[in-house]
Every structure is written in structure tokens, then in C-alpha cells.
Amino acid sequence: MDKARKLFIAGNWKMNKTVAEALDLVKSLKRDLADVLDVDIAVCPPFTALHPVGQLLDGTVVKLGGQDMYWDKFGAFTGEVNAAMLKDVLCTYVILGHSERRQFFGETNETVNKKTKAALAARLKPIVCVGEMLAERESNRTEAVVTDQVLNSLAGLKPEELLEVTVAYEPVWAIGTGKTATAQQAQEVHALIRRLLAQLSDAKTAARIRIQYGGSVKASNARELMGQPDVDGALVGGASLQARDFVEMIQNVRN
């Protein structure tokens, strides 16, 4: 695929996989994706599996990411992990502001912004998620909601910091529902996000930042979605839980 930016596909395993199951899955990925140098690849297992998975993937093309983190450096924050801890277990990336965290765990643009800054300070690359709910799309508020999320979640970042960020556009109504946004719906919002990134930096910087689409991406629809000019990869939930599905999707978007 002739793309302006290198595609980036990340698997978000959410609350799935024991250590043994995680190792099984990444053994297959390590074997089947070893020669894929034209797409950036990451998996984001639950915290409990990060260390063993990181050991197995060290030095391979499949990079590791956390699913969340807290912004403080250490201290009395029961249940949290920080950026340095994710780096310590060999994470390259961290997902921040996923809609499930926004919906169920009180995540706001303000907390996402603090986490993004803390991740960057620790040299972790944030994957910052945005996306509207069904009711917001149906009341024509997609643009307003996504604009608010992008501008406030990424407020105050310098251009060189923004270059380390991936934005994931995930319409909430498409997550885990089997309902994918059409390629055109995705492209419209991705183009909006790129304009907002230019507003936060400049057009040249914005042209280099990757914007992933997420929401029921699978092997059969990935190529059409990523064929859109501003869709630079995918954040994949369900279809990243089986090696065969994830590998097939990655192979399908290669040239």
C-alpha cells in the first residue's frame, strides 16, 4: 500500500489472557511476523503478562505496550503503575484515554493530558484514544466531541513531542460491536484530527503523525480502511486475541 506514513497496527488485548495464554499467542506472532518490516506492530497485554511477554518479544519486530498508566512518579496510589514501571518491563508504547477507561473509570481529557505528558517524559510513546458515542454521532456532535478530546488531551505538547504520539480514532459505537465505521466515515474524522494536530503544531508536523482507526477492525476490512489517505493503521481489540486473525490482518495491508 502506498502510504505517506508507515502503517502502525497495535493489538489491545483488554482484560484477556493469562500469562500462559499470552505467551502462546506471542510465540506465534514472533514466528509469523518476523519478516514484517514495512508495518509497525505492537501488542498491549494486561499488566500481569507484560513482563514475560516483553522478555519473549525483546529484539523482535513486535513491540510491547501498556493499556494505561498513572502520571505520578511513585507513591501511595493503590492499583496504579507508572511510566517508569512500563519502561522497566520493556514497553515502547502505552494506550491512554481508551473509551472504556473514559466510560467506566472516570478518565477525562485532563487526566489523559497529564498521563500523555508523563509518558513522553519517560520516553514512552502514547497512543491517545478519542471517539464519539453513538448518541453524539446521531445528534451530529462527532466533530465537536472529537475536537474537544484532541485539543484538550494533547494540549501543551511541543511539536517534537506530538511526533511521538499516535492518535487512535475509535468511534465508541464501533468498538466490539461488529459495526465498523465506513472507510469514508473514518477518513472524514481522521482528516479533522489531522487539521487539529496542525492547529496544535504546524502542517508539516501534523503530516507526520500517525492516526489509527479502531472499532471492529478485522482481516477482511483492514485494507479498505487503511487505504484511506489519513488512516495510518489500526488499534485492534477482538481480532488481536487470536494469532491467525492478527497475522492475517497485517499480511492483508502489506503491499
Catalytic center residues: 98, 170
Whichever of 150 and 175 has its CB closer to ligand PGA, that residue is 175
DSSP class of residue 11 equals E
Binding segment for ligand PGA (CB under 6 A), chosen from 46-54, 106-114, 140-148, 233-241, is 233-241
Sequence-separated (6 or more) residues with CB below 8 Å from residue 159? 201, 202, 205
- How far is residue 165's CA from residue 178's CA, in Å, rounded to a whole number? 27
**Least distance between ligand PGA and beta carbon 244 (Å):** 16
Whichever of 156 and 176 has its CB closer to ligand PGA, that residue is 176
Q: Is 214 in the site for ligand PGA (CB under 6 A)?
A: yes
Binding segment for ligand PGA (CB under 6 A), chosen from 21-29, 106-114, 181-189, 215-223, is 215-223
- How far is residue 204's CA from residue 207's CA, in Å, rounded to a whole number? 5
Whichever of 71 and 169 has its CB closer to ligand PGA, that residue is 169
Binding segment for ligand PGA (CB under 6 A), chosen from 137-145, 182-190, 193-201, 213-221, is 213-221
Out of 139, 176, 203, 229, point to the residue binding ligand PGA (CB under 6 A).
176
Angle formed at CA 15 by CA 12 and CA 18, multiple of 5 degrees? 105
Burial 130-152 (b: 16+ CB within 10 A, else e): bbbbeebbeeeebeebbbebbee
Q: Is 91 in the site for ligand PGA (CB under 6 A)?
A: no
Residues 234-253, one symbol each (x = binds ligand PGA by CB under 6 A, - = not), give -xxxxx--------------
How far, in Å, are 23, 63, 212 from residue 54 at the CA level?
10, 8, 23
Q: Is 65 in the site for ligand PGA (CB under 6 A)?
A: no
Residues 1-40, one symbol each (x = binds ligand PGA by CB under 6 A, - = not), give -----------x----------------------------
Q: How many helices (H) and strands (E) does the chain have?
A: 12, 8
* Interface contacts to ligand PGA, rule CB under 6 A: 12, 170, 175-176, 214-217, 235-239
